[in-house]
Amino acid sequence: MRVAEVQALMRDLYGPRDAARGAEKTFLWLVEEVGELSQALRGKGKHTKEEEFADVLAWLASLANVAGVDLERALEAKYGQGCPRCKAKPCRCAPA
C-alpha cells in the first residue's frame, strides 16, 4: 500500500469522525498509539509490534487528513532528494 492509499483508506473509514474530533484530539490519539508502540517494542505491550506500527501510521494519516496535509507529497518534498541536510543517499551527516 502506498502512503497515499493509506491516507485515502483512513479518510474513507474515519474521515467524518476524524473531522468532528479535530486536529488536537486526533493528535492526542496519535500520541497514545506511539506510547503503545513504545511498550510493544520493549515487549511490554498487549499488542504486537506490527499492530502498533499500523495504528501509529493510521493515526498519523488521519491527523494529516484533518490538517489538510498530503503525506506522500510532504515526504517527497522533504526526503525525495536524499537527506534534507546533506542531500546524500544514504545520509553522510555526522552522527548526532
- Domain ranges in the chain are 3-79
Other CB atoms within a 10 A radius of the CB of residue 52 amount to 21
**C-alpha pair distances (Å), 21 with each of 25, 49, 59, 62, 81:** 6, 26, 12, 11, 35
Per-residue pLDDT at 45:
73
* Domain 3-79: which CATH number of 3.40.50.10490, 1.10.287.1080, 3.20.20.140, 3.40.309.10: 1.10.287.1080
Written as nine digits, the cell of 19 is: 473531522
Residues near 22 by Cβ (< 8 Å), separated by ≥ 6?
66
What gap in Å lies between CA 66 and CA 40, rounded to an integer? 27
Per-residue pLDDT at 47:
85
Q: Is the peptide bond before 84 cis (omega within 30 degrees of 0)?
A: no
Cβ atoms of 52 and 37 within 8 Å: the answer is: yes
Per-residue pLDDT at 65:
98
Give the single-character DSSP code of 45.
S
pLDDT by 10s per residue, the chain, length 96: 999 999 999 999 999 999 999 999 999 999 999 999 999 999 987 889 999 999 999 999 999 999 999 999 999 999 999 999 999 999 999 988
